[in-house]
């Protein structure tokens, strides 16, 4: 091993410990603590025979619901992301999800108890202790876990230690996009260049974006055997297959994770997944959203919400129909061609808010504040978003969803251009059904689109929603929509 690497390794040792704790292992520790708290709250009262009414001869009947409730709670917490380190370290941020998971698990256990007709076998005192004690215990345990994990982060114990090897230009491009956060994600120890050395063991090249070039690709294995490294990023052009294969062949012999980051992938926005077809490894750069069980869950949610809303709001909708008929002549329902799933054209339904002879079925003319085309009743309906209620029928038909990117008229413009021509990734928002409301709308992107910048921002929010969809995300958007409608109106 050359002198440069020896000096650098010695310097690393002076900076602090080279040991770290895997973030996955830290998450596992939090999960074990949650399970322990839940079981203790459930079983300690049984062991103490609280109130003298549990009956020692019947104490074993409390074990099944305790295990079921604990397992269900851990599964839900895992599903909603509460074992990710960035959630664990923020107690207040995770409280709403924690409360939702707790309520869901408690109601599920009670539901099964009701179906099996065994609820009367259990002490009510024990049930109260378990229900409310479990939530208090979870909150307290999470507060303690938050402090412990923050201490680990401050000490650098959760940082994955990484080096980058490759072409200087490619390494610079990669470093431009890597954003370590407070030692939580990874720590870049240094760079190794594929350029030849000077003959004295010294690598050619100056520091790249502040990171030192501490060796060549040939000296990298010696470094990896001397200092603990978790990840090696290989940054080479994809056209340089020979060097990529040579590097990977050597690095596969060492106990590190090797990650290939080529020029074609640095700027690739989608999440990439490697999969195999037969004996061939391929990269999945785009994935059909809302597939299989996700699609079924979202459709069930749409039917449930739309059906219930139409049933409850039927009297209100009848009054709206009457008000529209009395206010101005013309049909009650306004029909407009809009983009639907996979760029298909659907006929979106709305209560008519404009004078019948001034409406624009194409959507080419933007609606502005104090628009003279809007009727008196229409102004109220638009301000309260009640004009959208007929689209619940579109949802039941399967043409729309309750939550999703807004359905745009096919002739809608952004600035002076057609929306779908002005924004490069516009069609990607049609990979899911359009919605009555969406992530863009609850983030203040409602109303008139009078610039390309606003159009791009809306599409960015729509694509973020598609890539990060979950039932919880939909519920969050629905709640924020209700708040937004109450606080602010449209026009």
Q: What is the DSSP string of 303-342?
A: HHHHHHHHHHHHHHHHHHHHHHHHHSSS-SEEEEEEE-GG
pLDDT at 1 over 50: no
Partnered with residue 414 across adjacent β-strands are: 417
How buried is residue 327: exposed, middle or buried, by Cβ count under 10 Å (0-12/13-18/19+)?
middle
C-alpha span between 34 and 24 (Å, rounded): 15
Q: How distant, in Å, are the alpha carbons of 233, 249, 361, 481 from that of 275?
A: 20, 20, 46, 38
pTM of the predicted structure, to 2 decimals? 0.57
Structure-token match 């609820």, residue found: 119
Structure tokens at 201: 């063991």
- Positive or negative: CA dihedral 465, 469, 470, 471: positive
Backbone φ and ψ for 414, nearest 5 degrees, come out as: -120, 110
Can you give the pLDDT at residue 489?
52
pLDDT at 491 over 50: no
| 256, 161 Cβ separation under 8 angstroms | no
Residue range 160-188: mean pLDDT, rounded: 74
Residue range 287-298: mean pLDDT, rounded: 82
How much of the chain, in percent, has pLDDT values that exceed 90? 17
pLDDT at 467 over 50: yes
Q: Model confidence over 11-38: pLDDT tens digits?
A: 544 444 445 666 777 888 889 999 999 9
Backbone φ and ψ for 19, nearest 5 degrees, come out as: -90, 150
Q: Which of 185-189, 364-368, 425-429 has the lowest mean pLDDT?
A: 364-368
C-alpha span between 307 and 346 (Å, rounded): 20
Can you give the pLDDT at residue 300?
92
Q: How confident is the model at residue 365 (pLDDT cuts 50, 70, 90)?
A: low
pLDDT at 207 over 50: yes
Can you give the pLDDT at residue 48?
77
| 164, 217 Cβ separation under 8 angstroms | no
Q: How confident is the model at residue 304 (pLDDT cuts 50, 70, 90)?
A: very high
C-alpha span between 298 and 303 (Å, rounded): 9
How much of the chain, in percent, has pLDDT values that exceed 70? 81
Higher-confidence residue of 168 and 417: namely: 168
Rounded to the nearest integer, the mean pLDDT of the chain is 80
Q: How many CB atoms lie within 10 A of CB 256?
A: 19
Q: Which of 85, 96, 104 is nearest to 30 (CA)?
A: 85
Structure tokens at 211: 């990171």
Residue range 70-80: mean pLDDT, rounded: 87
Residue range 80-105: mean pLDDT, rounded: 84
C-alpha span between 153 and 173 (Å, rounded): 27
Can you give the pLDDT at residue 471?
87
Structure tokens at 340: 């639907």
DSSP code, position 367: P
Can you give the pLDDT at residue 15?
46
Higher-confidence residue of 216 and 3: namely: 216
**CA angle, 150 then 153 then 158, to 5°:** 130
Q: Which domains does the chain have, with CATH numbers?
A: 23-155 (no CATH), 159-288 (3.40.50.720), 293-488 (no CATH)
Q: Model confidence over 254-272: pLDDT tens digits?
A: 888 888 887 666 555 556 6
Residue range 55-74: mean pLDDT, rounded: 78
Can you give the pLDDT at residue 349?
93
pLDDT at 402 over 90: yes
Can you give the pLDDT at residue 17?
45
């Amino acid at each position: 091993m050359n002198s440069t690497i020896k000096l650098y390794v010695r310097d690393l040792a002076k900076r602090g410990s080279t040991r770290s704790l895997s973030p996955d292992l830290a998450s596992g520790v939090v999960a074990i603590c949650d399970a322990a708290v839940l079981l203790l709250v459930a079983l300690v009262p049984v062991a103490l025979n609280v109130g003298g009414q549990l009956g020692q001869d019947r104490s074993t009947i409390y074990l099944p619901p305790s295990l079921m409730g604990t397992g269900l709670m851990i599964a839900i917490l895992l599903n909603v992301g509460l074992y990710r380190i960035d959630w664990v370290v923020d107690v207040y941020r995770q409280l709403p999800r924690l409360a939702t998971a707790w309520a869901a698990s408690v109601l599920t256990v009670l539901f099964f108890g009701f179906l099996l007709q065994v609820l009367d076998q259990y002490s009510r005192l024990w049930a109260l202790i378990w229900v409310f004690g479990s939530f208090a215990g979870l909150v307290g345990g999470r507060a303690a876990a938050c402090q412990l994990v923050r201490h680990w982060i401050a000490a650098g114990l959760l940082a994955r230690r990484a080096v980058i090897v490759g072409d200087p230009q490619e390494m610079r491009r990669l470093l431009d996009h890597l954003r370590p956060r407070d030692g939580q994600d990874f720590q870049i120890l240094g760079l190794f260049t594929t350029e030849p050395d000077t003959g004295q063991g010294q690598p050619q090249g100056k520091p790249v974006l502040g990171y030192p070039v501490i060796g060549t690709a040939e000296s990298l294995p010696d470094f990896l055997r001397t200092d603990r490294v978790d990840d090696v990023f290989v940054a080479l052009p994809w056209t340089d297959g020979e060097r990529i294969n040579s590097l990977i062949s050597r690095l596969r012999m060492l106990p590190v994770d090797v990650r290939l980051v080529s020029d074609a992938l640095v700027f690739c926005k989608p999440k990439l997944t490697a999969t195999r077809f037969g004996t061939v490894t391929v990269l999945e750069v785009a994935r059909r959203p809302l597939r299989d069980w996700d699609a079924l869950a979202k459709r069930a949610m749409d039917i449930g919400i739309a059906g219930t809303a139409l049933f409850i709001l039927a009297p209100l909708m009848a009054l709206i129909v009457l008000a529209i008929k009395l206010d101005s002549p013309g049909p009650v329902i306004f029909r407009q061609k809009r983009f639907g799933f996979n760029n298909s054209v659907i006929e979106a339904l709305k209560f008519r808010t404009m004078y019948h002879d001034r409406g624009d079925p194409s959507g080419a003319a933007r609606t502005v504040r104090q628009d003279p085309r809007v009727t008196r009743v229409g102004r109220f309906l638009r301000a309260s978003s009640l004009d959208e209620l007929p689209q619940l029928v579109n949802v039941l038909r399967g043409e729309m969803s309750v939550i999703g990117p807004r359905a745009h008229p096919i002739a809608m413009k952004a600035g002076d251009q057609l929306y779908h021509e002005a924004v490069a990734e516009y069609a990607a928002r049609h990979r899911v059904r359009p919605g009555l409301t969406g992530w863009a709308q609850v983030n203040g992107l409602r109303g008139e689109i009078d610039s390309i910048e606003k159009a791009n921002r809306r599409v960015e929010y729509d694509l973020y929603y598609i890539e990060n969809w979950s039932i919880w995300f939909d519920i969050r958007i629905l709640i924020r929509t209700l708040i937004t409608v109450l606080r602010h109106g449209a026009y």
